[in-house]
Amino acid sequence: GQQLNQSPQSMFIQEGEDVSMNCTSSSIFNTWLWYKQDPGEGPVLLIALYKAGELTSNGRLTAQFGITRKDSFLNISASIPSDVGIYFCAGQTGANSKLTFGKGITLSVRP
Amino acid sequence: NAGVMQNPRHLVRRRGQEARLRCSPMKGHSHVYWYRQLPEEGLKFMVYLQKENIIDESGMPKERFSAEFPKEGPSILRIQQVVRGDSAAYFCASSPTPGARSGNTIYFGEGSWLTVV
């Protein structure tokens, strides 16, 4: 089945640093989404990407939809303590089709 | 994820009992999805429903699990004769009707945490 790969499992950065996370797939997706999940909460949508090559920003977050449609990255600039959480990438093949999730990256930010 | 309402947020059941999890999608959304998340894992797709129809149930276990999205009322995920391995967080998500301006982005509820003792 389709799988999304996110690594490493955990990242530790200093407050103020930038961080980049990758997500790769063995198969093509037509939509890529990045979610953040805090403990005991549901995933919150950060950025949605709908076109290969697309680069989209949301505040300090920037994400790109890879040109091959098999990867995406998320960049967080000038990290702050509230960026702590689990970041999931998700791919979707068609409109309203199910999402396939990566296993997530746990981000820790040292003050 | 504001707008997708799930209840209960936490549910404790003894082995063999039934668990019913409810989900009301965001206003204007007619597509509902259920996902399961085990500790320290990503979300795994279970089932995709539209009003009164199951569109894709490829992620649903063959036994004990069922889902519905009736014409009126919330979507229900039902787990019969629960076992310890059913303990997980169950998330509902919704997306709008195709062609809506907001696109087909999927928004999640805050989850229902099932503990089987």
| pLDDT tens digits for range B71-112 | 889 999 999 999 999 999 999 999 886 554 445 678 899 999
pLDDT digits (tens, 9 = 90+) for A11-63: 999 999 999 999 999 999 999 999 999 988 999 999 999 999 999 999 999 99
pLDDT of res. B30? 87
CA R_g for chain A? 13
For residue B65, pLDDT over 70 is answered with: yes
Residue of B34, B36, B104 for testing the chain A interface, max A β-carbons within 10 Å: B104
A24 contacts chain B (CB < 8 A): no
Average pLDDT, chain B: 90
For residue B115, pLDDT over 50 is answered with: yes
Kindly list the distances between the CA atom of residue B26 and the CA atoms of A101, B17, B43, B58, B83, in Å, as whole numbers in the listed order: 21, 30, 20, 24, 31
A85 contacts chain B (CB < 8 A): no
pLDDT of res. B103? 55
pLDDT digits (tens, 9 = 90+) for A49-83: 999 999 999 999 999 999 999 999 999 999 999 99
B87 contacts chain A (CB < 8 A): no
Cα separation, A28 vs B80, in Å, equals 36
CB-CB contact of A86 with A76 (8 Å): no
For residue A95, pLDDT over 90 is answered with: no
Residues within 8 A of B (CB atoms), A 33-62 only: 33, 35, 40-45, 48, 50
pLDDT of res. B64? 97
Residue in B6, B104, B108 nearest the CB of A95: B104
CB-CB contact of B11 with A73 (8 Å): no
Which residues, other chains included, contact B75 with Cβ-Cβ below 8 Å and sequence gap of 6+? B22, B23, B24, B25, B32, B34, B49, B67, B68, B69, B92
Tell if the CB–CB gap between A96 and B4 is shorter than 8 Å: no
3-class DSSP assignment, residue A54: coil
For residue B1, pLDDT over 50 is answered with: no
pLDDT of res. B74? 95
Kindly list the distances between the CA atom of residue B85 and the CA atoms of A100, B19, B33, B116, in Å, as whole numbers in the listed order: 22, 13, 21, 8
Residue of B45, B95, B106, B107 for testing the chain A interface, max A β-carbons within 10 Å: B106
